[in-house]
Structure 1
C-alpha cells in the first residue's frame, strides 16, 4: 500500500509542477480534483505502437476508475528488491546455427513514420537498425502498411525479417495485413528467421495459427518488467537472463492463443504472452525493445492530444521511467542473437572447442 501512496503522491506533485496546457483544438480529457472520481474510458480505436490511428473503432471498453491509473504505476514497481539482479538458471538449449557477420535482413514496416521519429531518428527503419544492425550486413525496408512486400526472388536472398509495430489490429482483415500474413507463412515454411515486435508479435502469432485480440486489462504503456520462463532461460543460456527484464510497452492488443507447438518465453503481470517462439525460426516480443523514452512520450502526447488515451495514463507512463529503465543492451543481445542464429548453448561452445582442438592435433 505504501508504494501505491508514493506513486500517487508523485503523480499529483508532478501535475502541480508541470500543468498541461492543451491547445485550442485539443479535446480536454475529463478530470477531477478528487482521486476517488471515476473516469469512464472508452477506446475509440487501437494504437499499439507509433503510427496514426486506425479507422476501425473497437467495441467500447468497460469503465475504469481513476485510482487504477495510480495502481498501474505502482504495479510497475513489482519485482524490485533482492531478486532484481538475480539470474534465471536452467539447462541450456541452443537457438540454432548461424555465423557471425554478413547477412541480409529486412524490416517489414507496418506503420507510417511519426513526424517526431522522422526528424529525430530518420524514421523507424533507422531505429530498428540501431538496435539490430552490425557491420557487414545488408538492411532494407519494405513499407508493408502501403502494400510493399518483397517478391519471391527478393525474399529468397533475405536471411531474416523484422516485423514492426502498427496502429492496426493484427486480427484485422485489411488487404495489406492479409498479404503480410501470407508472406510470413511462406517465409516461415522456407526456414527464414522472423522477429515480430508488438503488432509484429501478434501478426506472427496469427500467421502461424494462433489468435490475438483486445487485452482484458486495457492499455499497457510505459516501462514494464517481463519475466522469462525456463524455456527462455535455456534458449538464451549464454546471456544469463535476469529474473526481471524491463522493456517499454505500448499496446492494448495481445496474444490470446499460441500457434500449435509454440511456447511462451516470457510473461508479465499485464500480459500472459509477452514473448513466444515457434521452433528456432520465429519469435515474437510484445514490448518495444527498439523504443526509447522520448519516442514513447512523443506517441503518448500525440494520442493524448487526440483524446485517444487519458492524461493519467501518460502520467503513469512517465512515472514508470522513474522506477526503472528499459535494459536496451540486454534486448540487443536477445533480439540479435535470435534473428541471426548466434546464441549457442555451453554444450555447443564446448563442442566447437573440442573440434578446433582436434583439428590442431591433426
Structure 2
C-alpha cells in the first residue's frame, strides 16, 4: 500500500533533532504495528503535494499548531485538496488538526472551544464497534475506553454528513469519528510519546493554571494507547483500500 503523509506543521527548532517531525512519528507508529507500507511525507504547509491524486492508495493529514478553519492560503488549499480526495473515493486519516480539517471540509464544523486547552493523557468512551476495531491477532477490541495523549484547544463541534461518533469524553464530545469505508479521524495523538508531550507542556505553562498543570502532569502516569489506535488505523486502511 502507498500512503501519503500530508505534514501540516514544522517542529520547533529545539525539538527537531530528537523528534524530526510528525510525518516521521507516523512512519514509526505504523512500523511498530506491522504496516510495511510506502509512506512518503509531503510538507503541505510548504506547498509540497503528490504529483497526482492517484499516486497513492490513501492519505493521512497530521496535527498542527495552526487552526484548521483558518483562511491561510495553505490551509484553504489543503481543504480544497482534501475535498478532491474525498470525492475521488480515497481513504483518509486525520489526526488533531487533520481530524478538525476533514470534519470542517466535509460539511461539519471545527472551531476554538470554550473548554480551553486539552493536555496530557485523556480517557475516552467508545461509542461504536466497527469491524476495523481490532486488537492485533486477538480479534475484536472490546475494551470500551481508550487513553490518548492530547494537545489541543480547537475541537470538532459538528460532524459531517454520514459520520459516526467513535470516541468522546466530557471535555471533547466529538473526539473521534469515521465515515464508513473512507474517513477515520482522531483528536488525540497516537503518534506522540510521553517525552514529546512533556516537551510541549513547557510551552503551555502560561496557558493553564498551576493546579491544572499539576493534574495534566499527573495524567502522564496513565497509559497512552497510541499503538492500539495505530492498529485500528492500519485495519481501516487495509479494508478501505480493497
Residues 111 and 166, structure 1, Cα contact 8 Å, conserved in 2: yes
Stretches of structure 1 lacking an aligned partner (at least 5 in a row): 1-102, 345-362
**Rounded Cα–Cα distance in structure 1 between residues aligned with 2:36 and 2:64:** 29
- Identify if the C-alpha distance between structure 1 residues 251 and 215 changes in structure 2 by more than 3 Å, giving closer, same or farther: same
* Larger of the two Rg values belongs to structure: 1
- Identify if the C-alpha distance between structure 1 residues 185 and 162 changes in structure 2 by more than 3 Å, giving closer, same or farther: same
- Shift of residue 219 of structure 1? 1.2
- Computed over aligned residues only, the root mean square deviation of the Cα atoms, in angstroms, reads 2.1
Q: Indicate whether 1:161 and 2:62 are aligned.
A: no
Residues 221 and 313, structure 1, Cα contact 8 Å, conserved in 2: no
Indicate the residue corresponding to 1:187 in structure 2. Answer: 85
Secondary structure of 2:124's aligned partner:
strand
Q: Indicate whether 1:208 and 2:140 are aligned.
A: no
Residues 35 and 234, structure 2, Cα contact 8 Å, conserved in 1: no
Indicate the residue corresponding to 2:29 in structure 1. Answer: 131
- Identify if the C-alpha distance between structure 1 residues 269 and 129 changes in structure 2 by more than 3 Å, giving closer, same or farther: same
- Shift of residue 342 of structure 1? 7.4
Match of 1:251 among 144, 152, 177: 152
Q: Indicate whether 1:295 and 2:196 are aligned.
A: yes
Residues 301 and 314, structure 1, Cα contact 8 Å, conserved in 2: no
**Rounded Cα–Cα distance in structure 2 between residues aligned with 1:148 and 1:181:** 14
**Rounded Cα–Cα distance in structure 2 between residues aligned with 1:107 and 1:234:** 24
Residues 166 and 199, structure 1, Cα contact 8 Å, conserved in 2: yes
Match of 2:96 among 198, 203, 218: 198
TM-score, length-normalised on structure 1? 0.61
Secondary structure of 1:314's aligned partner:
helix
Structure with the largest fraction of strand: 2
Q: How many residues align?
A: 236
- Identify if the C-alpha distance between structure 1 residues 262 and 150 changes in structure 2 by more than 3 Å, giving closer, same or farther: same
Match of 2:13 among 92, 104, 115: 115
Indicate the residue corresponding to 2:218 in structure 1. Answer: 319
Indicate the residue corresponding to 1:145 in structure 2. Answer: 45
TM-score, length-normalised on structure 2? 0.89
**Rounded Cα–Cα distance in structure 2 between residues aligned with 1:161 and 1:141:** 10
Indicate the residue corresponding to 1:232 in structure 2. Answer: 129
Q: How is 1:345-356 mapped onto 2 (pairs within 5 angstroms)?
A: none
Indicate the residue corresponding to 2:186 in structure 1. Answer: 285
**Rounded Cα–Cα distance in structure 1 between residues aligned with 2:217 and 2:188:** 16
**Rounded Cα–Cα distance in structure 1 between residues aligned with 2:35 and 2:152:** 32
